[in-house]
Structure formats: C-alpha cells, structure tokens
Structure 1
Amino acid sequence: MNAVNEPRVLSWHPAYQKDFEQLNKTWIEKYFVLEPVDIEVLEHPAEHIIVPGGDIIFVAMSKRIAGTVAYRRLDDETVEMTKMGVDEEFQGRGLGWLLGKTIMERAAAAGYKKMVLFSNRKLTPAITMYRKLGFAEAELEQGGYQRCDIKMTIDLKEPPLAGLSRQLKEAVHTTVEKLLRYSNEEAGIRPSADKWSRKEVLGHLIDSAMNNYPRFIRGQQAEYLEVPGYNQDFWVDVRRYQEEDWDELVQIWKMLNLHIVRVLPLIPEEALGHILAVGPHAPVTLRYIAEDYLRHLQHHLTQIFPVHANY
C-alpha cells in the first residue's frame, strides 16, 4: 500500500476527465484566456489525445487527483507534451517534475523519438523545470495557441532495457517455430535417465519466467529487496511437465515471455541499480537479473536444439 502522502501516478480513465478539465482550466484562466481549442480538448480528451495515439496521466495524493499532463501524437516519431496542471494546494512538492519525467518515459516506451512543448515565458517556474528535464528552446512556428511565445524540444531517450526487450522478442518468435517442429513424442524423450526431456527443459524455462516476472516488478519498489529462490528440479518434478501436451507448453512459454518483453522497457533507469538478494545467492542488481534472464533462456534452448540440427 502507498503511504498517504506518497504520490501515485495513475493512467487515463474516463472517470478522470473532469479532473483533467478543471486542473487545466484553473491555471489557464489564472494567467491567460481559454481558447476554443482548449475547451474542445479539455472537454473531449479521449477523442483528441487518446484515440490518435497519445496518453494522459495523473498524479494522486491519497484519494485526490493533484495534477495531470498529456502527450499528443504529432507524427510517427514526435509527440507534444501538453496540458500540464498541478493543483495549487499541492504545488512545491515536485509533482510537476514527476509528471513531466513520467510522461517522457511513457512516450519513449511507446516508441516516440522526440517531444516538443509550447509555453509562455511568464510561467518562469515551469520553463525552469522544463530546462532541468532537458528541454531546449527551438524556433517557434506561427499558429497554435495565442498565449504561446516559446517552443522547447527534447530527444527522447530509449528505455534502458528496450534493446534487451527486442532481443528477447526476437528469440521468442524465432524459437517457437523451431520448437513446434518436434512432435509430442519427440519432445518427451529423455536423453538419459538423469537428463531432462525437451518438455522438462521448456517447463523449467516456464518456471523461470514465472519466478522472474515478479522480480522485475517488485525490484522496482525498493532499493534493496530479498526474494525467494526456487529449486528447479523440484519445480519440474512437481509440475509433471513430462505429462503435458508439447504444443500447449510452447504456447505457455511464448505468452509468458511476450509478457516480459512488454515489461522490460517500462523499468526506469534508476530502478535498474536496485539490489535483489535471491535466496541464498549473492545480491545482484535488477539490471543483472534482467540481462541474466536472457542468458539463462538462451543457455537452455541449446539443450533443446542439438548443435548438429540443421535449423
């Protein structure tokens, strides 16, 4: 559970439309005049922001929505940060920074390469924050909001584990087709009495995915975390993978790993240095857990595919 005074970032939901509208109308009307485009976007945010490929997030303090920001899709590579507002009661607590940083991370995770924003120089605290976030002033084009007299841009940084995610995704897609070349009977053959069959090796990789996924999530919550390990032989024996249908095991393995593929780019840079103590093993970073997951997967796939196989 989050502490009462700990900010929580919330994703878009239609129930928050009024909060999105009111937070933005409050600051716009305080400093400027609402323009027709403001009213249209604030009253119909899903239509103008979400549906075309954008995103809207909120920050909550306890049960109150304290701030919001959005990004609007401009083209396949560029988005505009827009409609940032923080309730005056909660200003000065770093919520604007949290919103800005999070919306940039979300846009980068969605594959966008660049973010722009339009503002006014009289909003000195906001401009200062944008610069600290890494935005730089750019040439302002004609048109847009009448109140805007400055344009700022930033190149979005690819999520730190995006490359690892792509490698895992490629490994999954290229491996599934090869796995399905084996019949159910072939997959169940043990090389020797003390060696796993292909079913059991893949079952172990399923267990690995199920154990590592919560590590990727929980490892983001604390700078140091103790998590249980698992006895791989016990898990494989108890699960009786040898009795399962091969095609079903392949699909389970595929979907679990595609789930992890989507999780990896969402892990922020600062969380990758968090330390996890897994069972009796020496503590390691969350980054190491993620990178070792792919190494481990690739190691066991070599047990399924003999080196002499012509694939």
Structure 2
Amino acid sequence: MNEIWTIRPGADEYAPYFGRYIDLVPDGDLLQTLREQFVPTIQLLAPLREEQANYRYAEGKWSVKEVLGHMIDTERIFAYRVLRIARNDATPLPGFEQDDYVKYGPHARQPWSDLIEELQVVRSATLCLLRGLDGEALARRGTSSNSPASARALAWVIAGHERAHMTVFHERYSAVLS
C-alpha cells in the first residue's frame, strides 16, 4: 500500500458540496477502494437484461441506463479534472450540468452491454491515471466549478460518487435488481 493514497483530503481541498461524496469513502487505500468497490457494481448491474436497464422508478426519473451513463460521464470528467490539476494546469475548470449530459447523451439508446463495457474501460483508465500520480501531484490545487480543489480530493470524489449511486440503485431501482 502506498501511503499517499490513505491521506484523506482536508475540508480546504474541495467545495463543501463534495464532502457528501468524500464522506462515503472508507478510510484506507483509495486505489484499493476504487478497485474493490467496482466488483459489486459490476456484479449488480452486468446481469440486467435490456428491458431492466430501461427501467425508471417514476416518470421523469433517469433509467438505470441513464444513471450508469451519468456515472461514466462523471468519472471521466473528474478524472480529467484530476489530470489537469495534477499536471499543474492553473486554468479554472468549469462545472457541468449533469441533467444536460443525460438528456443529450447516448446512454438511453446504447445497448446495455456497451454501457457495462464502457464503465469497465473508464474505471481502468481512471486507475491507470491515478497510479501514475505521486504525493506532490495529488496535493496540487486548482479551481474546479468555481471552487478550490486538490487533485487528491477529486480522486476521492470519484469513489464517493460511485458509492452514492450504488445506494440509489439499491433504494430506487430494487424492483429490477433483485
């Protein structure tokens, strides 16, 4: 275990909103958490049939496919933010409107198996990126969504965001997951 991955970000390393995700991440090695939490995610979602993946728990709510697409898009965006800040790029990084990403994204039309594959590829790319960072790169700070952010904090948000949506799957989509 590399100790740099066990250092939780301080509250001054991220916008207060993201504390809700960081707080969901258990203490320990973040890279190990990202590898291990991914296994139950795939085990839960991969067996779904196409019609199950199109399930919405209420009118106007995202389908399982759209939630997964949102998770994929968000991980990509946050990994990109980690990369930019870790490389000492001082350019402020804008926020993004998650509802527009879902509305205009292809996820609802894609085959379920393609989304599962994409999730696996994106997580693999995230892990490759993070493994290449040292403590100095993780401690670098920039601006993301008009707030200060460290590369470390954004990496922790990736893990917490997945955990948050796994809770949503269990609470709101249980009709098709059991």
Task: Give the TM-score band, short-chain normalised.
Answer: 0.7 to 0.9
Partner of 2:5: 161
Superposition pairs of residues 21-36 of structure 1, within 5 angstroms? none
2:51 paired residue among 170, 180, 185 = 185
1:226 shift after superposition? 1.2
Identity %, equivalent residues: 25
Distance (Å, rounded) in 2 between the aligned partners of 1:308 and 1:259: 28
Which residue type is aligned with residue 156 of structure 2?
Answer: E
2:154 paired residue among 272, 286, 289 = 289
Superposition pairs of residues 88-237 of structure 1, within 5 angstroms? 158=2, 160-161=4-5, 163-222=29-88, 224-237=90-103
Distance (Å, rounded) in 1 between the aligned partners of 2:86 and 2:141: 10
Which residue type is aligned with residue 295 of structure 1?
Answer: G
- Indicate if the aligned counterparts of 1:188 and 1:242 stay in contact, CA closer than 8 A: yes
1:270 shift after superposition? 1.3
Which residue type is aligned with residue 300 of structure 1?
Answer: H
1:237–1:223 CA distance, 2 compared to 1 (3 A)? closer
1:199 shift after superposition? 0.4
1:255–1:266 CA distance, 2 compared to 1 (3 A)? same
Distance (Å, rounded) in 2 between the aligned partners of 1:223 and 1:206: 24
1:277 shift after superposition? 1.4
Greater per-residue helix proportion? 2
- Indicate if the aligned counterparts of 1:206 and 1:253 stay in contact, CA closer than 8 A: yes
- Indicate if the aligned counterparts of 2:93 and 2:144 stay in contact, CA closer than 8 A: yes
Structure 1 residue matching 2:171: 3-state secondary structure = coil
- Indicate if the aligned counterparts of 1:223 and 1:271 stay in contact, CA closer than 8 A: no
- Indicate if the aligned counterparts of 1:201 and 1:303 stay in contact, CA closer than 8 A: no
- Indicate if the aligned counterparts of 1:205 and 1:297 stay in contact, CA closer than 8 A: yes
1:267 aligns with 2:133: yes
1:304 aligns with 2:169: yes
1:211–1:186 CA distance, 2 compared to 1 (3 A)? same
1:278 shift after superposition? 1.4
1:200 shift after superposition? 0.5
Partner of 1:60: none
Distance (Å, rounded) in 1 between the aligned partners of 2:163 and 2:116: 15
TM-score (norm 1): 0.46
Which residue type is aligned with residue 298 of structure 1?
Answer: R
1:265 shift after superposition? 2.4
Structure 2 residue matching 1:283: 3-state secondary structure = strand
Distance (Å, rounded) in 2 between the aligned partners of 1:223 and 1:239: 28
- Indicate if the aligned counterparts of 2:4 and 2:134 stay in contact, CA closer than 8 A: yes
Distance (Å, rounded) in 2 between the aligned partners of 1:232 and 1:263: 23
Partner of 1:246: 112
Distance (Å, rounded) in 1 between the aligned partners of 2:65 and 2:89: 37
Q: Quick check: which has more Rg, 1 or 2?
A: 1
RMSD: 2.3
- Indicate if the aligned counterparts of 1:273 and 1:285 stay in contact, CA closer than 8 A: yes
Distance (Å, rounded) in 2 between the aligned partners of 1:180 and 1:298: 17
Structure 2 residue matching 1:165: 3-state secondary structure = helix
Number of residue equivalences = 154
